Amino acid sequence: MGSLHERNPSLWVGTTEPGDYPPLAGDERADVVVVGAGITGLTTARLLVEAGASVVVIDAGPICAGATGYTTAKVTSLHGLTYTELANHFDEGRARLYGEANEAAIAEVARLVDADGIECEFQRRAHVVYTTDPAMGDSVAQESSLAASLGLPASASAATELPFDVVGAVRFENQAQFHPRAYCLGLARAITKAGGRIFTHTRARQIDGSERTVVTDRGSLRGSSIVVATHLPINQMGAYFARCEPKRSYAIAVRVGGDRPEDMYISVDSPTRSLRAASDHLIVGGEGHKVGEPHDTNEHYVNLENWAREHFDVKSVDYRWSAQDWSAVDGVPYIGRMAGNDDGVYVATAFKKWGMTLGTSAGMVLRDLITGRDNPWLEVFDATRIAPKQSLKGVISENVSVLKHFVGDRIGTGNRQTVDDLQPGEGAVVRVGTSAVAAFRDDDGTVHARSALCTHLGCLVNFNPAERSWDCPCHGSRFATDGAVIEGPAVEDLAPEEL
């Protein structure tokens, strides 16, 4: 994301300093170049400076303005029904390692908060996964008994603090919550204090694995190792864009009268509902959908507010925000050596909306890989894995041909709206001659016109009314109404168009 200027700033962005460091000026080198200053990049950098490496971190925006600045920030090893899924798709051994990696991440966050004196409202809380759907009761009970058998702090209970009955719940003790941006700003301070260098407002445009070079809009960086912590790798690196699905979801921070739940909650029902307290607020989240689906995204905020009012005495809605995260086809993050690249290029992506722990585990795995230590979790997260009989080249070319059809079909048949139809605040893809133009009319009536072809692989973008952005349905790139890239895999802005 890399912007503090999203239309709907989160509670975390709204209550912290900007987090700007100087931009890169000229060329630099270091043992390790980390691209991306969210929780993944900053944890990796923090652990590497502690291990004695020289580190440079860059970010396209300020510190922690990507997904980490727009999360709900539960720090937990209980991720829906993940242990059942892992045991079914792989085996219990892998599920056990996944649990250990996430439990270790909670402990590592606690250690860093303490070691670096970070004031980030870090609090130990239980996390509870619940269902109100009788059809899901057995699945939740099974998750609880499996997790307990794997040595995790799990118990089953249908008694919760929630203001409605649940059919079943699995509860993990001694999990945590924090203010994610205050935490990341603290990590950044610890990195520079230990000699690491951070450059913000510096966008990587190309990463050359064989040369170990990162070409940015402000100079080049060379490192013995390069860590790509840009949420999803940029451009076509490792073909992760073709193997991960991006989903957006929504959150509101409300003030309520009466009691708020102390513990953290998430349902496995549809639609998902997520709850946690934060300072004076109660955060209510959910409403996931695939990025770039054309619909009125404002409805998701309305649905969350209606649900909150149904169950709590809502006094005010103070913040609302949305963000996205990627999931791998097999549900397991990719952490380690980047597929299709020389040794020395590393990746961490596809956290499936659980990146507070998984981004921290990633930092631990990557620190160990780069410094030559063994790490027991590497086999679970292996970032070079692809389905049998697939090749990276095959994955990319299949994906590109799907896109060509998608783009061709849409230009041929749809988008008949004209610019004159647009009301202030509205955007639409309109046809001008043979071009597809992303047209937005701002509140002053001025129309901004950009090419509607995503600069990643040329898919047609759709307008997202709630965030006033152009979102790509193919791999989740997003652009501002002036065409500036907000988040990747794209790294170039939408091209200007004449109307």
Work out which of 6, 28, 55, 59 binds ligand FAD, going by CB under 6 A.
59
Work out which of 56, 73, 242, 407 binds ligand FAD, going by CB under 6 A.
73
Evaluate whether 161 touches 150 at the Cβ level (below 8 Å): no
Give 487's strand partners: 478
Given the DSSP bridges, would you call strands 219-228 and 213-216 parallel, antiparallel or unpaired?
antiparallel
Nearer residue to ligand FES within complex by CB, 55 or 239: 239
The reply on whether position 127 binds ligand FES by CB under 6 A is no
Work out which of 325, 368, 467, 471 binds ligand FAD, going by CB under 6 A.
325
Closest CA to 240 of 376, 353, 332: 332
Closest CA to 378 of 318, 336, 434, 328: 336
Query: Going residue by residue from 224 to 263, which x/- string records binding to ligand FES, judged by CB under 6 A?
Result: -----------------x----------------------
The reply on whether position 489 binds ligand FES by CB under 6 A is yes
Residue 474: which of ligand FES, ligand FAD, none does it interact with, CB under 5 to 8 A by kind? ligand FES
- Cα 215 to its chain centre, rounded Å, is 23
What is the end-to-end Cα distance of the chain in Å, rounded?
Answer: 28
The reply on whether position 472 binds ligand FES by CB under 6 A is yes
- 95 Cβ contact partners less than 8 Å away, ≥ 6 residues apart: 82, 83, 86, 87, 146, 150
Buried b (16+ CB within 10 A) or exposed e, 233-266: bbbbbbbbbbbbebbbbbbbbbebeeebbebbbb
Nearer residue to ligand FAD within complex by CB, 73 or 453: 73
Residue 359: which of ligand FES, ligand FAD, none does it interact with, CB under 5 to 8 A by kind? ligand FAD
CA distances from 259 to 152, 254, 393 (A): 29, 13, 55
Backbone angles phi, psi at 141, to 5 degrees: -65, -40
The reply on whether position 477 binds ligand FES by CB under 6 A is yes
The reply on whether position 4 binds ligand FAD by CB under 6 A is no
Give 56's strand partners: 33, 197
Residue 8: which of ligand FAD, ligand FES, none does it interact with, CB under 5 to 8 A by kind? none
H runs (alpha helix) in 169-265 = 180-193
State the Cα–Cα distance between residues 187 and 179, nearest whole angstrom: 13
The reply on whether position 72 binds ligand FAD by CB under 6 A is yes
- 6 Cβ contact partners less than 8 Å away, ≥ 6 residues apart: 13, 70, 321, 467, 486
The residue range among 71-79, 194-202, 382-390, 450-458 that interacts with ligand FES, by the rule CB under 6 A, is: 450-458
Which residues in the 291-350 window bind ligand FES by CB under 6 A? none
Residue 38: which of ligand FES, ligand FAD, none does it interact with, CB under 5 to 8 A by kind? ligand FAD
Nearer residue to ligand FES within complex by CB, 291 or 356: 291
The reply on whether position 453 binds ligand FAD by CB under 6 A is no
The reply on whether position 474 binds ligand FES by CB under 6 A is yes
Residue 324: which of ligand FAD, ligand FES, none does it interact with, CB under 5 to 8 A by kind? ligand FAD
State the Cα–Cα distance between residues 39 and 73, nearest whole angstrom: 11
Work out which of 34, 45, 65, 454 binds ligand FAD, going by CB under 6 A.
65
| # chain residues binding ligand FAD, by CB under 6 A | 42
* Both tokens assigned to 349: 């992506």
Which residues in the 194-213 window bind ligand FES by CB under 6 A? none
Residue 383: which of ligand FES, ligand FAD, none does it interact with, CB under 5 to 8 A by kind? none
Evaluate whether 141 touches 155 at the Cβ level (below 8 Å): no
Residue 494 is given by DSSP the state: P
Work out which of 475, 481, 483, 485 binds ligand FES, going by CB under 6 A.
475
Work out which of 355, 363, 427, 483 binds ligand FAD, going by CB under 6 A.
355
Closest CA to 353 of 143, 150, 8, 70: 70
- What is the residue-wise DSSP string for 4-71? S--SS--HHHHTS-----PPP-S-EEEEEEEE--SHHHHHHHHHHHHTT--EEEE-SSSTT-SGGGGS
The residue range among 202-210, 335-343, 366-374, 468-476 that interacts with ligand FES, by the rule CB under 6 A, is: 468-476
Nearer residue to ligand FES within complex by CB, 284 or 457: 457
Which residues in the 241-260 window bind ligand FAD by CB under 6 A? 249, 251
Residues at the site binding ligand FAD, with contacts judged by CB under 6 A: 1-2, 35-41, 58-61, 65-68, 71-74, 203-204, 229-231, 234, 249, 251, 285, 323-325, 351, 353-357, 359, 488, 491
Residues found near ligand FES in the complex (CB under 6 A): 241, 454, 456-459, 472, 474-477, 489-490
